[in-house]
Structure 1
Amino acid sequence: MLDANLKTQLQAYLEKVTQPFEIVASLDNSAKSTELKSLLEEISSLSNKITLRLDGTDARKPSFSLNRIGADMSLRFAGIPLGHEFTSLVLALLQVGGHPSKLAQEMIEQIAQLEGRYEFETYFSLSCQNCPDVVQALNLMAVLNPNIRHVAIDGALFQEEVEQRQVMSVPMVFLNGEMFGQGRMGVEEILSKLDTGSADRAAEQMNEKEPFEVLVIGGGPAGAAAAIYAARKGIRTGIAAERFGGQVMDTLSIENFISVKETEGPKLVRAMEEHVREYGVDIMNLQRASRLVPASKKGGLHSVEFESGGKLSAKTVIMATGARWREMNVPGEQEYRTRGVAYCPHCDGPLFKGKRVAVIGGGNSGVEAAIDLAGIVASVTLLEFDTKLRADEVLQAKLNSLPNVTVIKNALTTEVKGDGSKVTALVYQDRATEELHELELEGIFVQIGLLPNSEWLKDTVALSDRGEIEINAQCATNIPGIFACGDVTNVPYKQIIIAMGEGAKASLSAFDHIIRTS
């Protein structure tokens, strides 16, 4: 199962285990159970503190639990956690084995103080880059609090269960049998939903903070670079973000980040956050900006208000709120979001194995999605609004070679249909004849570009007709002391490396402004 190099690395990690624990496997006669048994035998052979038992009686087979000897703890994997979830498995082994996490002490205490009974179930897919964050967060919470139980379930392996619970998008989390949340969540976000007073406490703490010299709004590549460049100047720097990492967290493979031949979005985000924290930047997560109030006089303080009720002030503000997936804005799209309408083929594709799906969009993202899905689903219909595809020729050639892909051009999607619980069809109009057509299918993957996250800035800074913040060569907006960078601006070519460069430029411009106005 594990190659020699991976075994060596895992053995080195397991040397950090300080407390004995057991792995209890629940198996049957299937090939997957044999595969899991082999993996667990290899893992248990790498540490004398791990005992493997094969007498588990869990209804989900194959599955296994991790149990610390003499402790009340329930943490289980249903499936074989390889792919993106192998890191989740390694972390679970270490944490159950007593190795401390890097979570802030105040958050550890907040988890430990939760009362009641919390039975979590997370459905994931091995190709989903969003799922490990959720699995790892809930596994850690189960280690820290005996009231919390967690099982991570490979949706592709338990198809009947997925069908019954209508899981059409991962990660999807259930709490005590009821839907709890869908999409990427970290410990902070889960805690904010369980501990309803945490948001109010965070807002109070924000309101008590002293003014910053540079306040960055947004935690993507542009925001991270801006925060680092400001903090390196030795000035008081804060960064408030809805989620650290932004769109990069949803990026599977990155192969054009200069000097790094290949990496993945979540891995790059972890490195960015570690780098930002090294400089003592005040990071405020789960904060969605709602209003910008420019300074009333030259040299005064700008302020930013947040949906949580918090408010921050600063000499300069750098807006790096990025962009989000563009939606079709047709009837049925919102009703069936996560119930057949999806935006991440890498995450949700395995849930549509053997089914009929459509991809909306003929650019690189859309064609790449169609190619990836073709190897999983029964058939793919790609719909493009224009009269020709806009993807690179090499991608189009690959697409045209696939026998289960149909391309429809000059098509306008007009409606998503469903039976009340899941998608059943898509309606599109032939733009040449204006005739309506209906495609019977089970899934729709939307890949039609991005929208800037700038709605909260209307009537303050100047925006383009596309909603992008207009900036000059120094990343300055039309308001002195207010700067912007990254995908939310009118700078062309939305690329990670460009966003980082723009973030550095915006920060240097903000520092120059502070010097000249102080």
Structure 2
Amino acid sequence: MQLDAEIKEQLAHYLKLMEGNVLIKVSAGSDNLSKDMVDLLDEITNMSSKITIEKRELTRTPSFSINRIGEDTGVAFAGIPLGHEFTSLVLALLHVSGRPTRAEQKLVDHIKNIKGKYHFESYISLSCHNCPDVVQALNLMSVLNPSISHTMIDGASFRDEVESKNIMAVPTVYLNGEYFSTGRITLEEILAKMGNNVNTAELDNKEPYDVLVVGGGPAGVSAAIYAARKGIRTGIVAERFGGQLMDTMSIENFISVKFTEGPKLVASFKEHLENYNIDMMNLQRVQRLEKKELIEVTLESGAVLKSKTVIIATGARWRDLGVPGEAEFKNKGVAYCHHCDGPIFKGKDVAVIGGGNSGVEAAIDLAGIANHVTVLEFMPELKADAVLLERLSSLSNVTILKNVQTKEITGTDKVNGITYMERDTETVKHIDLQGLFIQIGLLPNTDWLGDIVERNPIGEIIVDSHGATNLPGLFAAGDCTNSPYKQIIISLGAGAVASLSAFDYLIRN
């Protein structure tokens, strides 16, 4: 396996940043995958005098571990970390060599002080855009703490292992042999799930805010920045900074930026946010809101945040089908991200529920991976843009079923089919398949509000042209509101409007 000239040039630049010597222990067989892995590692070794290779027998073959001289760091790769994981390999080499991490110092200190023995295994796909963040976080923990180790496992290279564990979504993480998580999870979230939330202790006895933003997506970030620029005390509390944007693969309608990815845009948002005096509180789930002398926001941790005004920007989540089998087979054949989980269904029969842009885009992508794709649409016609429909109709391994209603997702330990009804004839039919991708729109994250604020029948917060709700001092913005269009750029504008309105409210009151 040979790296192309451009990648090789970039790699040479990064390898010059290595600070100490690194030993790569390699476990290889006579198979082609082992040969390709060894070729790649030989090529990397020839580019730096600080890297040496040693043959060893590791738990999996083909695999390799990256270590300091005389010390096992616990960073291992089973398979060949190319594609989206090539960056994970480069960072592992740098960090093991002693190159400092860019992680916040409080996280670094916290990881170093973790006691106990923790071995993580992450099952990934090389085409998954969510996987590298998880791999890199677990690798970093392994480098910082000798009691922590991590092995990245390419599911395509170890298919038998993946199937024996019924892994049907990536990234899937195991800790000490037991299931730990599925999907994108940040370093902070991993620590919190381990019982090491570094943010909770800092929530006691907070001074009241002038503006408190609930939600860390585009609307929330915009609202917080606009408030902070007014010189008033501003806080932002989020269950997951970046929200649904963290799971968005490609963004091509963010004006002035031809193409970007959700996580990159979130990183830019965070960098901009950190330029202002904003109290950021991540990984905190809001439980309820009450209007007293001030507005009080109670978190699941029990902490209470008080503010003169509050802007709700909690966004939305994927809408569930609400049929038998959906909950039982989630991550066991039922999926929501075709970019992440599509490769797991290579050569298999899958279905996509939903004929809007998201559903048709998913079907087009999956057609290049799966054996056959069936698109099911509730309405008489697909709702996607004409250019997407033209592309979909050109694919020979796609079947389109319109005016049908999904009745049940079937299976035993994983999905084996779907039952649907033709709405015009009420004829019930069944399709045998191994995977199902649900793309039927969004629901607002507003259930926690109860009846304290006016919402429409689907739960969206009703706001006026200023982002104001029916409760004085309470504003809302973004996908959690009755805004007719759910777009990043619209949410950014709505966050600014709500923030400016909150400032006007403070002046008047």
Same-fold call, TM > 0.5? Answer: yes
Q: Distance in 1 between matches of 2:46 and 2:502?
A: 56
**What is the count of residue pairs matched by the alignment?**
508
Q: Distance in 2 between matches of 1:209 and 1:14?
A: 45
* Pairing of 1:16-415 with structure 2 (within 5 A): 16-53=17-54, 55-195=55-195, 198-199=196-197, 202-294=199-291, 296=292, 300-415=293-408
| Alignment check: 8 A CA contact 1:368 1:395 kept | yes
Residue 474 of structure 1 pairs with residue 466 of structure 2: yes
In the other structure, the counterpart of 1:483 is 475
TM-superposed CA distance for 1:39, in Å, is 2.7
Q: Distance in 2 between matches of 1:284 and 1:268?
A: 19
| Alignment check: 8 A CA contact 2:352 2:438 kept | yes
Match for residue 454 of structure 1 among 441, 446, 458 = 446
**Residue aligned with 1:261, SS:** coil
Q: Distance in 1 between matches of 2:128 and 2:346?
A: 15
CA 1:128/1:483 → structure 2, altered by over 3 Å: closer, same or farther?
A: same
**Residue aligned with 2:479, SS:** helix
Residue 433 of structure 1 pairs with residue 433 of structure 2: no
Q: Distance in 2 between matches of 1:261 and 1:146?
A: 43
Deviations 1:358-397 (A, max 9, x none): 1100111111111111111111111110111111122112
| Alignment check: 8 A CA contact 1:203 1:309 kept | no
| Alignment check: 8 A CA contact 2:199 2:282 kept | no
Percent identity, please: 58
TM-superposed CA distance for 1:355, in Å, is 1.1
Which segment is superposed worse, 74-83 or 9-18?
9-18
Cα RMSD (Å) of the superposition?
1.6
CA 1:27/1:224 → structure 2, altered by over 3 Å: closer, same or farther?
A: same
Q: Which amino acid aligns with 2:165?
A: R
CA 1:364/1:69 → structure 2, altered by over 3 Å: closer, same or farther?
A: same
TM-superposed CA distance for 1:204, in Å, is 4.8
Q: Distance in 2 between matches of 1:9 and 1:516?
A: 56
Q: Which amino acid aligns with 1:50?
A: I
Q: Distance in 1 between matches of 2:302 and 2:20?
A: 43
Q: Distance in 1 between matches of 2:36 and 2:492?
A: 43
Residue 496 of structure 1 pairs with residue 488 of structure 2: yes
| Alignment check: 8 A CA contact 1:33 1:61 kept | yes
Q: Distance in 1 between matches of 2:441 and 2:42?
A: 46
| Alignment check: 8 A CA contact 1:414 1:427 kept | yes
| Alignment check: 8 A CA contact 2:199 2:283 kept | no
In the other structure, the counterpart of 2:456 is 464
**Residue aligned with 1:278, SS:** coil
| Alignment check: 8 A CA contact 1:203 1:311 kept | no
TM-superposed CA distance for 1:35, in Å, is 3.0
| Alignment check: 8 A CA contact 1:415 1:427 kept | yes
Q: Distance in 2 between matches of 1:166 and 1:64?
A: 25
TM-superposed CA distance for 1:82, in Å, is 2.2
TM-superposed CA distance for 1:156, in Å, is 1.8
Q: Which amino acid aligns with 1:383?
A: L
